[in-house]
Amino acid sequence: MSRSLVVGSFENGEDILSAARAARVAGLTIVDTYTPYAVHGLDTAMGLAPSRLSWVCLVAGLTGAILKLWFEWWTAVVDWPVNVGGKPDNSLPAFVPITFEVMVLFAGLATVGALFAVARLWPGRRRPALVPRTTDDRFALVIEQTSAEETTARVRALFEEHRAVAVTEHVDEGRTCGRGQTAMKALNVVLALALLAAIGANAALDRDPAVPARDYLPEMAYSLAAESYAADPAFGSGGVLQVPPDGTIARGASPLHYLATPADALRAGLELSAPPIDQQALRRGATLFQTFCAICHGDTGVGNGPVVARGFPPPVSLLAPHARDMKDGQIFHVLTYGQLNMPPYASQIDAVDRWRIVAYVRQLQGSQQP
């Protein structure tokens, strides 16, 4: 659809403003204006409705804020909660700063993107100017010529009344698509299809878990993963699991300076005393007794465990006066170093648990008669 346009050029903002106002009063159709700067009041004079871009800003900002807040909550509460300094998983106040930043980011970029879209601004776009120098110091008012020759004369008169420096006539052929633009559109379609194909292929192709992921800019040296009991390739002697040097003490352990002799057992009875034991520790002692001791000593401690039933020499009853007279520390020594047929349990039961067993044995002795 082609239309005829009458274009008036002006030298300053006040002239085009008054001309536009007069044109509106005269009932003429203002197609557009072209000015080197935003002439204040010209939008009202042209009768432009308030822009709805502020809604884009609001909606995009809210979307950004909600998405980010949800994402922070989801990562910190649902997907992988990590205890950071005892703070609750859902630390809402701490999520606010990033939520704000993302809100601003979304709102700003979406508003500008919407401006480019509705104002049809894009990189490389070329639009021949109806009047030269409208980006420098000229102001152009474009009026559509609706019907008769008579209109042109009226428009010309109006323009000249408002000190127009030039009046020209143009025919607008409507929007046409040049060859370059068609090529660009085709290229865009091809690129979009290629992107979709790449995404689809990535989703559809199987990933082989046996193939290690490609590592770029490796950050760490990869150590050889040797089996614990295999021969050691580095030391040559012994296995991968080396024997600790003499006198090594495990972390948290305290050394006991006793020998596995009856004399030292008596000494331990005088020197060592049981730590305070609560109900929970006593229950733990019961469990341990059932696990380690009852196979020989029996559930009640009289010495009739399942191993004894199959022919192993029976231990002395824990309820016998000899056992009742033992000091706590002596029983601890027996558990630690063994006695007669009983092997040492130090490597299997740690010191804290051995004291709990001692406490449970004391409870057994208290609850039953020999």
Is position 71 an interface residue for other proteins (rule: CB under 8 A)?
Answer: yes
In angstroms, what is the minimal distance from the CB of 224 to other proteins?
23
Q: Does 54 bind other proteins (CB under 8 A)?
A: yes
Contact track, other proteins, 204-243, x by CB under 8 A: ---------x---x-x------------------------
Residue 215: alpha-carbon gap to chain centroid: 22
Answer yes or no whether residue 97 interacts with other proteins by CB under 8 A: yes
Nearer to other proteins, 162 or 297 (CB): 162
Q: Determine, following the binding rule CB under 8 A, whether residue 159 of this chain makes contact with other proteins.
A: no
Q: Is residue 33 involved in binding other proteins (CB under 8 A)?
A: yes
CB of 216 or CB of 229, closer to other proteins: 216
Q: Total binding residues for other proteins by CB under 8 A? A: 68
Looking at beta carbons only, is 164 or 359 nearer to other proteins?
Answer: 164
> Which of 6, 7, 28, 42 is in the footprint of other proteins by CB under 8 A?
42
Counting runs of H as helices and runs of E as strands, what totals does the chain give? Answer: 13, 4
- Between CA 345 and CA 354 the distance in angstroms is 9
Count the Cβ atoms, other than its own, within 10 Å of residue 65.
19
**DSSP secondary structure, 248-280, as one string:** ---TT-------SSHHHHHHHHHH--PPP--HH
- Check if the beta carbon of residue 14 is closer than 8 Å to that of residue 174: no
| 46 contributes a contact to other proteins by CB under 8 A | yes
- Least gap, CB of 147 to other proteins (angstroms): 24
Do 169 and 6 form a contact (C-beta atoms < 8 A)? yes
Residue 149 neighbours by CB under 8 Å, 6+ apart: none
Establish if 19 lies at the interface with other proteins (CB under 8 A).
no
Closer to other proteins at the Cβ: 86 or 233? 86
Least distance in Å: CB of 138 to other proteins? 9
Residue with smaller CB distance to other proteins, 77 or 197: 77
Q: Which residues contact 159 (CB under 8 A, 6 or more apart)?
A: 6, 8, 19, 141, 167
The type of residue at 74 is W
Q: What type of residue sits at position 17?
A: L
Residue 36, interface with other proteins (CB under 8 A)?
yes
Give the nearer residue to other proteins in terms of CB position, either 34 or 337.
34
Comparing C-alpha atoms, which of 161, 132, 163 is closest to residue 11?
Answer: 163
User: For strand 139-145 and strand 3-10, is the pairing parallel, antiparallel, or unpaired?
Assistant: antiparallel
Length of the chain: 370
Look up tokens 């002795």; give the residue: 365
With binding defined as CB under 8 A, does residue 190 bind other proteins? no
Comparison of 125 and 179: residue with beta carbon closer to other proteins: 125
d(CA 111, CA 60): 8
Residues interacting with other proteins, by CB under 8 A? 12-14, 32-43, 46, 48, 51, 53-54, 57, 61, 71-72, 75-76, 79-80, 82, 84, 87, 91, 94-95, 97-98, 100-102, 104-105, 107-109, 111-112, 115-116, 118-127, 129, 132-137, 213, 217, 219
